[in-house]
Amino acid sequence: MKIIVDGMGGDNAPLAVLQGCAQAVTEYGVEIIITGKKQELERLMEENEISRQNISIIDAPTVISMEDDPISVVKDKRNSSMGLAFDLLKNGDGDAMLSAGNTGALLTGATLIVKRIDGVKRAALAPVIPNKSGLVMLIDSGATVDCRPEFLEQYGLMGSVYMKKMYDITNPRVGLANNGTEDCKGTDLYIASNKLLRENKNINFVGNVEGRGLMLGECDVYVSDGFTGNLILKTVEGTSLFFLDFMKKLFGKSIISKLAAVLVMKDIKAFKKKSDYKEIGGAALLGISKPVIKAHGSSDAKAIKNAINQAKIFASSEIIEEISENIKQR
Amino acid sequence: MKIIVDGMGGDNAPLAVLQGCAQAVTEYGVEIIITGKKQELERLMEENEISRQNISIIDAPTVISMEDDPISVVKDKRNSSMGLAFDLLKNGDGDAMLSAGNTGALLTGATLIVKRIDGVKRAALAPVIPNKSGLVMLIDSGATVDCRPEFLEQYGLMGSVYMKKMYDITNPRVGLANNGTEDCKGTDLYIASNKLLRENKNINFVGNVEGRGLMLGECDVYVSDGFTGNLILKTVEGTSLFFLDFMKKLFGKSIISKLAAVLVMKDIKAFKKKSDYKEIGGAALLGISKPVIKAHGSSDAKAIKNAINQAKIFASSEIIEEISENIKQR
């Protein structure tokens, strides 16, 4: 299994990316192709004693920054670390591709260079987050702001296949984000999407699910347009940070509270690990004809390593094949 | 100060409502008019030794249930506890009105019986929630699903006046919910709303604020359409419950963890109190020509008591007058 990694994407690139790649080689037995500024990458690997075993580097003269226009990946920055990674993926030089860089450029490059699965109308950004009952996918969390009902129907289908194949969930419950549980609730987009999701025989649609249900475990796939989904995802992140900040302060306040912390530290660590996006990996870009993973922009080496593992499982799970078949049936 | 209370609205009505009213009379020196089934209310007060001092009861033969069509408040259930409460408010028999009942009916009744402030295009449901830096208002959290940019501009204005008057925030920072901070981000509705909010001289607009910023304190008023706002509010609730559930389990697991709980209990209680909606009261219905408060459906006596206090401050703060002046200036 060969994973293509954009060596220059993300807040902690390239060092954290290199470290994550080396860890993944050891832990998951994958081969890695890293794209990026070859001299810099080689120097960093040497300086930090990062093993080059099963890691090859493809030189990319430019880098797409977070501020760059997404379209640059297919225009003036076609030869960037991200652009060349897409070329490698497209040409079959690797089985999956991963980047922690500019999300817009990743979407643009995936769609225009690697292309969507035949019949898929829009690719979707689909992170999986921990909730009360285990894990839930939020699809779309920001790829497409203006959606049509057919997009949301396909999100439900693609998310369903992914959760089944990646996490062995037999018949994933697909819920539609909404401001009420009745089918008539929501905007015209959501009323029409509800109807399409309900009629699709390949989807185990559990109906509209309110915002509470996302974290309380009422479904395995939570479908929304990209505008709403992005706000929901970031609201979960912000609320989580609010609570983690409180707990940090709670246990750091005095000698007595630090003692309390010691008593429950094991459980807190287990919870933090469970609710840590770095453990889960990145967000899958569903609807693209080859596996593409968007790692969190602030990924450290561990997050990169886990995202590589996710890419490996994604590539070996026939997810894209099954999505393709399901889309054709419609 | 006289507060009109829908005695039959909410999951714990009428007993919790009666208890909350009696507590509010003692604590805040208000007079209360309760609407509802007079015989039942009188019996409950007697059985539970609830003082009738400064509480008068107006008999209402019917009750609007959570399942009733909102429009029933002005049609077949005009003589319900909620319908009659609106009549009392409209006729000046009280200074503010409060209900924990059917939200849709409350909105409909407020709009059709009490009426909106001249020039206000839509009333908005505006809960105030605790976040990292103190409090933030979420407006609209579900009154109007299909919005126009002018609605969101007015939400920013109304929320601004409310936060200034209720919480002494000098120049409330108004943020627009969005999937990115740049002015060009979001759907057409949000791009146009951004422009109107930015141009309005009576609004201290801080620009688009992503979902993370809501709970991390990036603004005092968080503006969105009612569909998105409802999902955001409920996502905060669900994520909070997810964390509170973890903490409960953490500290209840063993004798050792129970000991840890004892050591930090004071701080946990303070945090719970700070982050408890029951402490804050209810959601103001902004844009209506008289003060109307929607208490949480699951309100207990304490939540009702606090919502009555909120209604009292709302009614004495000239919020409606200032909103009216600001709207006229446009």
- The tokens describing B198, both together, are 């930015």
Residue type, A122: R
pLDDT tens-place string over residues B265-303: 888 888 877 777 677 789 999 999 999 999 999 999 999
Report the distance separating Cα B257 and Cα B277, nearest Å. 27
Closest residue in B to A254 (Cα–Cα): B264
Nearest CB neighbour to B267, from listed A238, A245, A253: A253
- The tokens describing A200, both together, are 């699709």
According to DSSP, the residues that pair with A204 across neighbouring strands are A173
Which of A245-249, B60-64, B106-110 comes out lowest in average pLDDT? A245-249
Confidence of residue A267 (pLDDT cuts 50, 70, 90): confident
Q: What is the ipTM of this complex?
A: 0.94
Contact A145 B236 (CB under 8 A): no
Contact B237 A212 (CB under 8 A): yes
List chain B residues with CB under 8 Å of A190. 227
Contact A250 B271 (CB under 8 A): yes
Count of CB atoms within 10 A of residue B67's CB? 6
Report the distance separating Cα B98 and Cα B90, nearest Å. 13
Nearest CB neighbour to A235, from listed B235, B251, B253: B235
pLDDT of residue B12: 96
% chain A with pLDDT above 90: 87
Residue type, B256: I
- The tokens describing A159, both together, are 């998310």
Please give the interface size between A and B, counted as residue pairs whose CB atoms are below 8 Å apart: 163
Cis peptide before B14 (omega within 30 of 0): yes
Nearest CB neighbour to A186, from listed B145, B211, B264: B145
Interhelix angle A38-47/A15-28, rounded to 10 degrees, is 70
Contact B264 A271 (CB under 8 A): no
Quick one: which of A286, A283, A288 has its CA closest to A307? A283
Confidence of residue B29 (pLDDT cuts 50, 70, 90): very high
Nearest CB neighbour to B216, from listed A186, A241, A271: A241
Which of A20-24, B94-98, B279-283 comes out lowest in average pLDDT? B279-283
Quick one: which of A64, A125, A114 has its CA closest to A87? A114
pLDDT of residue B164: 98
3-class DSSP state for residue A50?
Answer: coil
pLDDT of residue A94: 98
List chain A residues with CB under 8 Å of B247. 247
pLDDT of residue A248: 84
Residue type, B71: I
What's the gap in Å between the CA of A127 and the closest CA on chain B? 15
Quick one: which of B277, B287, B270, B198 has its CA closest to B237? B277
Contact B250 A233 (CB under 8 A): no
pLDDT of residue A330: 66
Closest residue in A to B232 (Cα–Cα): A232
Contact A177 B243 (CB under 8 A): no
Q: What is the DSSP string of B68-126?
A: S-GGGGGTTTTTBHHHHHHHHHHTTSSSEEEE-S-HHHHHHHIIIII-BPTT----EEE
pLDDT of residue B227: 98
What's the gap in Å between the CA of B270 and the closest CA on chain A? 11
Mean pLDDT of B324-329: 89
Quick one: which of A128, A185, A126 has its CA closest to A154? A126
List Cβ neighbours of A168 (8 Å cut-off, separation of 6 or more).
none
For chain A, list the domains and their CATH numbers. Answer: 1-120+287-325 (3.40.718.10), 124-282 (3.40.718.10)
pLDDT of residue A271: 80
3-class DSSP state for residue B172?
Answer: coil
A328 against B26, higher pLDDT: B26
Q: Is B70 exposed, middle or buried (0-12, 13-18, 19+ CB in 10 A)?
A: middle
pLDDT tens-place string over residues A82-129: 999 999 999 999 999 999 999 999 999 999 999 999 999 999 999 999
Nearest CB neighbour to A145, from listed B145, B179, B261: B179
3-class DSSP state for residue B48?
Answer: coil
pLDDT tens-place string over residues B182-194: 999 999 999 999 9
A17 against B329, higher pLDDT: A17
Q: What are phi and psi of B11, to 5 degrees?
A: -65, -30
Query: What is the per-residue burial (b if ≥16 Cβ within 10 Å, else e) of B276-302?
Result: ebbebbbbbbbbbbbbbbbbbbebbbe
Mean pLDDT of B247-270: 82
Confidence of residue B330 (pLDDT cuts 50, 70, 90): low
Average pLDDT, chain A: 95
Report the distance separating Cα B222 and Cα B16, nearest Å. 31
Q: Which long-range contacts (CB under 8 A, 24 or more apart) does B293-296 make?
A: B293/B96, B293/B97, B293/B98, B293/B99, B294/B99, B294/B100, B294/B103, B294/B106, B294/B125, B295/B9, B295/B10, B295/B98, B295/B99, B295/B100, B296/B10, B296/B100
- Yes or no: say if A291 and A263 are a contact pair by the CB < 8 Å rule: no
pLDDT of residue A261: 80
Nearest CB neighbour to A260, from listed B131, B177, B263: B263
Mean pLDDT of B41-57: 97
What's the gap in Å between the CA of B97 and the closest CA on chain A? 25
3-class DSSP state for residue A25?
Answer: helix
For chain A, how many residues are written?
Answer: 330
Average pLDDT, chain B: 95
Report the distance separating Cα A320 and Cα A123, nearest Å. 12
pLDDT tens-place string over residues A273-320: 777 767 778 999 999 999 999 999 999 999 999 999 999 999 999 999
Report the distance separating Cα B279 and Cα A10, nearest Å. 42
- Yes or no: say if B187 and A146 are a contact pair by the CB < 8 Å rule: yes
What's the gap in Å between the CA of A273 and the closest CA on chain B? 13
Best B135, B141, B235, B276 member to test A by mutation, with max A CBs in 10 Å, is B235
Nearest CB neighbour to A237, from listed B185, B212, B238: B212
Report the distance separating Cα B311 and Cα B136, nearest Å. 18
Contact B132 A242 (CB under 8 A): yes
Distances (CA, A) of A80 to A58, A64, A74, A101, B306: 11, 6, 9, 11, 58
Report the distance separating Cα A125 and Cα A288, nearest Å. 10
Mean pLDDT of B13-20: 97
Q: What is the DSSP string of B287-326?
A: TBSS-EEE--TT--HHHHHHHHHHHHHHHTTTHHHHHHHH
pTM of the model: 0.95
List chain B residues with CB under 8 Å of A238. 211-216
Predicted confidence (pLDDT) at residue B309 exceeds the cutoff of 80: yes
